[in-house]
Amino acid sequence: MRNIKKLYKAEYRPMGDLETWSPLPSRNLQMIDPFIFLNHHGPQIYPPNNDGLPFGPHPHRGMETVTLILDGDITHKDTGGHNSVIEAGGVQWMTAGKGLLHSEVSSEKFKKEGGPLEILQLWINLPKRLKMTEPHYRGIQKDQISTWKNEEGTVKSQVIAGNFKGIRGAFDTPTSVDLSLVHFQKDSSVQLEIPKNDNIFFYVIHGELEVNEITVPKLHLAEFSKNSEILNITAKEKSILLLGHAQPFEEKVVFGGPFVMNSEEEIRQAYEDYQSGKMGAWEN
């Protein structure tokens, strides 16, 4: 069985009234190549007449954002001309590529009525050869996402990208990333085979899972060795897991706020291009 090297507790990093947990990057773990960032917002209840999410127009270059809406909604808009409102259970996948501006805010309905909110945003790096590709966005609702279930119906996986036990993911992506949101009933279990050379992204959103005889509590990210292909996962209670895996790029990574490139010079160029309007002009 594949060994767990270390567990990392997500750090609490609230953004005003938005409760936020972040396991990556942290003081102890910079990245799990090519997975580079995760923010877990909520769960929390917003009152009526709230201000909603605070993510107004901002740029990105050199990476992808995957946004999973567990509760609440997101209104997406970008300078590529895309607009959508994705509701609970839906997912957004944006390939920033050479750069664009986007905003992710709550719908007018959510701001007026309030309600539960829980959202995860994962950043996935792009390899050097794709850093300057054309931007792309797609948002899909819950009923458009492929699912896998075990015979008992106690484990269900929403297959976002790649495949999960032969079920193809909802998104076609520029790199070979497998990503799923896996729901477990208490005492349910599943065995997975993940290529030995892939890096695994394993974050427990809710509940508590036992993985190859090691307990992983909620709000923890597990780092794995590469000694085996086998993961045996058992839920000690009702749980939700964000599970990804991919071949590492093994390239130099330089962070510059919303930009993720391969050198400091490329970061400086990204800021110049943003400030000169090459990533688009925002129109309200």
Q: Residue positions in the annotated binding site for Fe cation? A: 58, 60, 102, 104
The edge-to-edge listing of strands for the beta sheet with 220-224 is 4-9, 220-224, 199-206, 239-246, 177-184, 155-161, 146-149
> Which letter does DSSP use for residue 218 in this model?
T
Task: Determine whether 264 is exposed, middle or buried from the number of CB atoms within 10 Å of its CB (0-12, 13-18, 19+).
Answer: exposed
Residue with tokens 């945003």: 121
Task: Determine whether 255 is exposed, middle or buried from the number of CB atoms within 10 Å of its CB (0-12, 13-18, 19+).
Answer: middle
Distance CA 206, CA 42 (A): 11
Spatial neighbors of 75 by CB under 8 A, at least 6 apart, are 83, 84, 85, 103, 104, 105, 106, 107
> Which letter does DSSP use for residue 96 in this model?
-
The number of CA neighbours under 13 Å toward the Cβ of 203 is 25
Which of 38, 33, 41 lies closest to 16 in space, CA to CA?
A: 41
Distance CA 224, CA 2 (A): 7
Other C-beta atoms closer than 10 Å to the C-beta of 155 total 21
Strands 239-246 and 230-235: unpaired
**Residues annotated as binding site?**
58, 60, 102, 104
